[in-house]
Structure 1
Amino acid sequence: MQRRTLSRFDEIIKVFRKYDFDKVLGQTTRNKISPFRSDADNKELLKEDFPERLRLMFQELGTTFIKFGQLLASRPDLVGERISEELSQLHDDNPPVSFEEIKEMIETQLGGNIEDLFEEFSENALATASIAQVHEAKLHTGERVAVKVQKANVEEIVETDLSIMKFIANESDRFNTSFKHLNLPAVLHEFDKSIHKEMDFDNELMNIRHLSDNFKYNDKIIVPTTYPDYSNEKVLTMEYVEGVKLSEVIAGDDPKYNKILIADRIVRSYFQQLFIDGFFHADPHPGNIFVTDDNAICYIDFGMMGVLDEEFRQDLAELMIYFSDRNIDGLINQLIRMDILNEKTDINILKSDLNDLFAKYYGVELSRFNGIIEDLLFLMQKFDVRLPNEFVLMARGLSMVENTGLRLDPDIDVVALLKPFARKLMVQRYNPLKMANNAKISFFAFEHVLRALPSLISKTIYKVEEGEVTVNIEVKHISEIANQLSLAIIIAALLVGSSLVMLIDVGPRFYEMPVLGFVGFTISLALGVFTVLRYFIDF
C-alpha cells in the first residue's frame, strides 16, 4: 500500500475499533486484517445494536462509506430489514467548501477565467453534498443556470477508500462465515461501478438528455436543459428551474400547489419510466423532485439511473399483475421464468410464506403496495435469493414514489394507475407482429446451432479419441441399482436355462412342453412384469 493508503487504513482501523468492529478484522500487531478468532467473537459482534453501530461507523468514516451504506440500505434482500432501515438514516450532507476552491475547479476544468465563462456566478452554494455542490450562475447569453461542481480531491479519496474496502471485503469473504452470504466482493464491485458513475458528470449529462427526450411531449414533466460547452466530467451546467422542493410542498399547505394533481403526475411519470421507457430515476425521493408554480414536476440529480430492457419490462408487468391479483402460483412461476428463483429454492415453503404475506393484508384492497414490496424483498433474503440489481432499484424507486404519492394524496390508487401501463406491455408482448419477429430471431438462432453442430460433434469425438474428455458420473441410490441389476441377471439366467430345457426331450411334459422349462418361463415372465411395474411406480 502507498503511504496515503496506509495512513487512511490506520484511520479506518481506529474507527472500526471505536465502534467495536475490530472483531470483524481481528487485528495483529501490524494492523493487518486476519480472520475471526472464534464463534464467540461473531456473537458479540452481531448483538442487538449492530445496525446502529454500523451506521455511526459509516457516518464517521465519510463520503465513500456513507455512499456504500446508502447502497446497502437499498438492498434489504441482502442485509435484512433492521440493517436496511438503520442505514437509510445515513446523510451525506457536508458543509460547503469555499468559493475559492469551486472557482479553481471550474477554471481548471473548463479552461478559462470564471468571469469569461459566466456573466454572473453566486459565491453561495444552492446545495452541497459529499461529492459536489451547486451554485447559481448566468451565462453571457442570458440563461440562468445551475452549476454542479465536484469537490477537489473527492476522486482520490474515493479511490483510496475503495482499495481498502475491497481488501476488507475479500478478507471477510475468505475467513468470516457470518458475512459470507453477503458476497461482499460482488457488492463492492457493484458499488465501485455505481459511485464512479455518480462522479462522472459526463455520464449524468447523458442521463439528463435521455430522460428529457423521453418526456419531450409532456410539458408537465420538466427535465433541465444541459449546456455541454460548460460541462465535463467534473462540472455540469444545466438549466436553473424555478420551483420548490417537493418535500416543502408535502410539509406545507400553500393552496397554489394541487397536491392531488402533483401526486398523480409523479406516479404516472414514474410508471412511464419503468414500463414504457425502461430508463428510470433510481433515487426519486422528495428532495430530488421540484414543483413549479403551475404544478409541473421537475426531476433533479441524475447520477443514479436504472435501465430495464424490453423483455424484463414485460416480465415485470406480468409480475405486477399477478402481484396485484394476489395470484401466488402465477407470481412464483413468473419469478422462475425471470430466473430469480432456481432449483435450490423450496417452492412449497415459499408458497406458504407468500400466503402468510398476503394474509397479512387480508381485507385490504391492493390499491397501494403499502409496504408489501419491502416485505417481498425481505422474504427473498430469507430464501437466500440474490435479486438482480435493476430489480431492487426498481422496487426501491417504486416504493419511494408510492410513499410520496400517499403523503400528497392519501386516497391515491397506485395499483389502478399501474395496471394500464402493465396491460399495454402485455398487449405488446402478444402482438402477432412481435411474436412473428421473435419466432424469426429464434429460427435464426436455431439455424446457427444446427450449422455449428457437425463441427462441435467432430471436435468432441476428436477430444474423446485423444483422451482429453473426462466424464464425471454421480451415481445415486447405488443399492437400488444393484438390486435391479441382480434381478435382471436372474431373469436372464432363467430365460436362458428354460430355453435349453425346452430342447431336451426328457422328463414330464405339459402341453407338449417340458414342465421344468414351462415353470422357468412362467417365473421369468412374472419377474419381468414385476420389474416393469415397479419401474413405472417409482417413476
Structure 2
Amino acid sequence: MAARAVRIAAVMAGRTALAVPALAAAAARGRSAMRTEALGQLHRLTIALGPSFIKAAQLLSTRRDVLPAGVCEVLGQLHDRVPAMPIATAQATLRAAYAGRAWPFERIDWAAVGSGSIACVYRATMPDGRVVAVKARRPGLAGPMHADFALLRAGAWAAQRLPGFRRLPAVRIVEQVRDAVLGQLDFAAEATALERMRDNFAGHDHLRLPAPLPAESADGVLVMDYVAGLRRMRRADLPRETAELAVRRILRCAYRMLFIDGLVHCDMHPGNLYLTADGEIVLLDMGFVVHLRPRVRRLFAEFFLNMARGNGAYCADIILRSAEGTHPGADLEAFRADIVALVGAASNRTAGQFELGPFAASLFDLQRRHGIAAAPEFIFPLLALLVLEGMINEYDADVDFQAEAKPLLIRALLTGVPREPAS
C-alpha cells in the first residue's frame, strides 16, 4: 500500500511538472487554448493513475449536472477509448491465457474494437467461421487496484473519526464498492452474470445482450458473440424521437433490474450502451454488477414508490426500518419532518426538474445529522440510477423519472419481491 501511495504521488508530481510549462504556453495563446490544454492534461493524468481512477472518471463523466460539460466530454472518452494494450502485450496476454490448451481462434484482428480500464476487446474468427468478441484483461491490474482501495479504506477509517463524520459508515461503503469494482477482474463471474441477465431479459424485444462462450474462454479472457453494426449513443447523432424512445426503454430495463430481478448493472454509461441499426439497445460489459438481497430490493422499491407519490412520512419509516441503528439522542420526529419536506419537494418531477445527486446527498445528510445509521447496501441502487440520470438529462430531460417506475414498482411489491426477515 505504501508503495502504491508513493507511486500515485510520483505520477501526480511528474504530470504536474509536465503540465505547468504546457499550460503556461497555452495561456499565452488565449483562454480557449488554455482550456483545451487543461482538459488534455486531466485526461492524461487520469490514464496515468490507473484503472481505479479511470473507473471513477467514467462514473463522473455522466454527471453533467455536477461537472462542466467539457470535463464530462473528456472523461467520457475513457468509457471505451482508453489507450489499448500494445499489440505485443495483447498477444502475449492471450497466448499465456491459452497455454497448455488448443488455440481456439482462426484469426484475431489485433486492432482493439473496444478499450476500457480493465480490458481490451478484439474481433476474432473461429475455425467454423463464427465471428466473436474476445475480451482480454490487462495484465498486472490486481495489485495496484487492491492498493488503491486499501488507501481509500484507510482514508475512510480516518474520516469516521472526525467529529462531523462519526455517524457515516464510510469504511463499509468503501468495502462494498471495493468488492464490486474488484469483481470486474473476475471474468468467470462476469460470464455467469451475463447468462443470468440474458435469462432475466429473455423475450424482451428491445434489449440485446451478447451470449458468452465458456468453452472458448480462458482465465482472464471472456469470449462472446460479436454484435456488428453498433452505433454509439451520441445525442447529436440521434433523431429526437429515437433518443427519447431509447432513454425510456433503458430506464425501464434499469427499473426491472432494481425492483424485479435484483441483478443490477451499475455501469450503464454510453460506453456500455449501443444501438443497432433497427433501434435495438445493446448492453455490454457485465463486470460491474451487484446482487441485491430481496429485503434491500423490497425496501428500495417501497421507498421509491412512496417518494413518487409524495408520501414522505412512509419514506421516513422505511429509512428507519432499514437503518443499521439509531443514536440514543436522535430526534426521530424532527427527522420525519425533514424527510417529509425533502420528499415533498422531489415528488412529481421530470428528469430535468429532479436531481437525484443532490436528493441522495440531502437524504444521507439528514440521516447523519439526526443520528440514523444508514444501510450502506442502498449505495448500489443509487449508484446505478446516478449513472443513468446523467445520460437521461442529456438525452430527454422531459421524461418522468418517477412515473416510468410506477408499473414495475407496483408489480414488484405485489408479486415480484419476496419478503425477507431483517436479520
Normalised by the shorter chain, which TM-score bucket? 0.7 to 0.9
TM-score (norm. length: structure 1): 0.61
1:110 Cα deviation from its structure 2 partner? 1.9
Q: Which residue of 2 aligns with 1:357?
A: 342
Cα offset, 1:276, TM superposition? 1.3
Residue by residue over 1:474-530, the C-alpha shift from the partner in whole angstroms, topping out at 9 and shown as x without a partner, is: xxxxxxxxxxxxxxxxxxxxxxxxxxxxxxxxxxxxxxxxxxxxxxxxxxxxxxxxx
Aligned counterparts of 2:66 and 2:168: Cα–Cα separation in 1: 15
Query: CA 1:167–1:56 in structure 2 vs 1: closer, same or farther (change >3 Å)?
Result: farther
CA distance change for structure 1 residues 353 and 372 in 2, over 3 Å: closer, same or farther? farther
Q: Is the 8 A contact 1:278 1:307 kept in 2?
A: yes
- The 1:197–1:72 alpha-carbon spacing in structure 2 relative to 1, beyond 3 Å, is same
Contact 2:351 2:397 in 1 (8 A): no
CA distance 1:386–1:210, change in 2 (3 Å): farther
The answer for the alignment partner of 1:266 in structure 2 is 250
- Per-residue CA deviation, residues 143-170 of structure 1 (Å, 9 max, x unaligned), is 2111111112222333454555556665
Q: Which residue matches 2:117?
A: 130
Secondary structure of the structure 2 residue equivalent to 1:130: coil
Matched, 1:291 2:275: yes
1:89-100 alignment to 2 at 5 Å?
A: 92=78, 94-100=82-88
Q: Which residue of 1 is the match for residue 133 of structure 2?
A: 146
Task: Assess if the C-alpha contact under 8 Å between 1:328 and 1:354 holds in 2.
Answer: yes
How is 1:76-475 mapped onto 2 (pairs within 5 angstroms)?
A: 92=78, 94-111=82-99, 116-162=103-149, 172=158, 185-248=171-234, 250-253=235-238, 258-339=242-323, 342-343=326-327, 345-358=330-343, 360=345, 365-368=348-351, 370-383=353-366, 384=368, 387-428=374-415
Alignment partners' CA distance in 2, 1:72 and 1:259: 21
Q: Is this contact kept in 2: 1:275–1:317, CA < 8 A? A: yes
Does the aligned pair in 1 maintain the 2:322–2:375 contact within 8 Å?
no
Instruction: Flag the 1:309–1:6 CA change in 2: closer, same or farther, 3 A.
Output: closer
> How many aligned residue pairs are there?
388
Distance (Å, rounded) in 1 between the aligned partners of 2:381 and 2:71: 19
Does the aligned pair in 1 maintain the 2:173–2:376 contact within 8 Å?
no
CA distance in 2, matches of 1:161, 1:407: 32
Is the CA contact (8 Å cut-off) linking 2:316 and 2:340 kept in structure 1?
A: no
Give the superposition deviation at 1:186: 3.6
> 1:387–1:144: structure 2 CA closer, same or farther, 3 Å change rule?
farther
Paired position in structure 2 for 1:505: none
SS at match of 2:290: strand
2-side partners of 1:368 and 1:163: how far apart?
36
Distance in 2 of aligned mates of 1:357 and 1:376: 8
Does the Cα contact within 8 Å between 1:73 and 1:87 map onto a contact in 2?
Answer: no
**Cα distance in 2 for residues equivalent to 1:167 and 1:365:** 41
Give identity over the alignment, percent: 21
Question: Contact 2:52–2:145 (CA<8 Å) still a contact in 1?
Answer: no
Retained in 2: the 8 A contact 1:16–1:57?
A: no
Tell me: CA distance 1:296–1:175, structure 2 relative to 1, closer, same or farther (3 Å): closer
Answer yes or no: is the 8 Å Cα contact 1:69–1:90 preserved in 2.
Answer: no
CA distance in 2, matches of 1:87, 1:351: 38
* 1:531 alignment partner in structure 2: none
For residues 276 and 58 of structure 2, the distance between their equivalents in structure 1, rounded to whole angstroms, comes to 30
Task: Tell me, in whole angstroms, the C-alpha distance in 2 between the residues paired with 1:71 and 1:286.
Answer: 10
Once residues 265 and 101 of structure 1 are traced to their aligned partners in structure 2, the CA distance between those partners, rounded to angstroms, is 39
Question: CA offsets, 1:340-368, max 9 Å, x none?
Answer: 6735543344344345535655xx84344
**2:335 & 2:164 partners in 1: Cα distance?**
24
User: In the superposition, relative to structure 1, how do residues 429 and 148 fare at CA in structure 2: closer, same or farther (>3 Å)?
Assistant: closer
- Pairwise CA distance, 1:299: 0.7
Alpha carbons of structure 1 residues 168 and 110: separation in structure 2 relative to 1, 3 Å: same
User: Structure 2 stretches of 5 or more lacking a match?
Assistant: 17-38
Question: Aligned letter for 1:299?
Answer: L
In 2: Cα distance, 1:152 partner to 1:324 partner: 46
Residue-by-residue CA offset, 1:152-211 (whole Å, 9 max, x unaligned) = 2222333454555556665x4598667766665444433442232111111111111110
The superposition leaves residues 439-485 of structure 1 with CA deviations (integer Å, 9 ceiling, x where unpaired) of: xx99xx9xxxxxxxxxxxxxxxxxxxxxxxxxxxxxxxxxxxxxxxx
Residues 140 and 412 of structure 1: CA distance in aligned 2, closer, same or farther (over 3 Å): same
SS of residue matched to 1:286: coil
Q: In 2 relative to 1, CA 19–334 (structure 1 residues): closer, same or farther, beyond 3 Å?
A: farther
CA distance in 2, matches of 1:192, 1:119: 38
Distance in 2, matches of 1:174 and 1:329, equals 29
Structure 1's unaligned 5+ residue stretches are: 21-51, 446-539
Q: Is the 8 A contact 1:173 1:183 kept in 2?
A: no
Shift of 1:16: 7.2
**Could you tell me whether the CA contact under 8 Å between 1:126 and 1:135 is conserved in 2?**
yes
Distance 1:428 1:341, change over 3 A: farther
CA shift in 2, pair 1:163/1:254, >3 Å: closer
How far the C-alpha of 1:247 sits from its partner, in A, is 2.6
Cα 1:173–1:373 change in 2 (3 A) is: closer
The letter for the 1-side match of 2:198 is S
Flag the 1:326–1:341 CA change in 2: closer, same or farther, 3 A: farther
Q: State the structure with bigger RCO (CA 8 A, min sep 6), 1 or 2.
A: 2
The amino acid of 1:347's aligned partner reads L
Deviation at 1:141, TM superposition (A): 2.0
User: Of the two, which has the highest radius of gyration?
Assistant: 1
Q: Give distance in 2, aligned partners of 1:144 and 1:72.
A: 31
Q: Which amino acid is 2:115 matched to?
A: T
Q: Deviations over 1:260-303 (max 9, x none)?
A: 33223212222211111111211111221111111111111111
Structure 2: how far apart are the matches of 1:286 and 1:56? Answer: 18
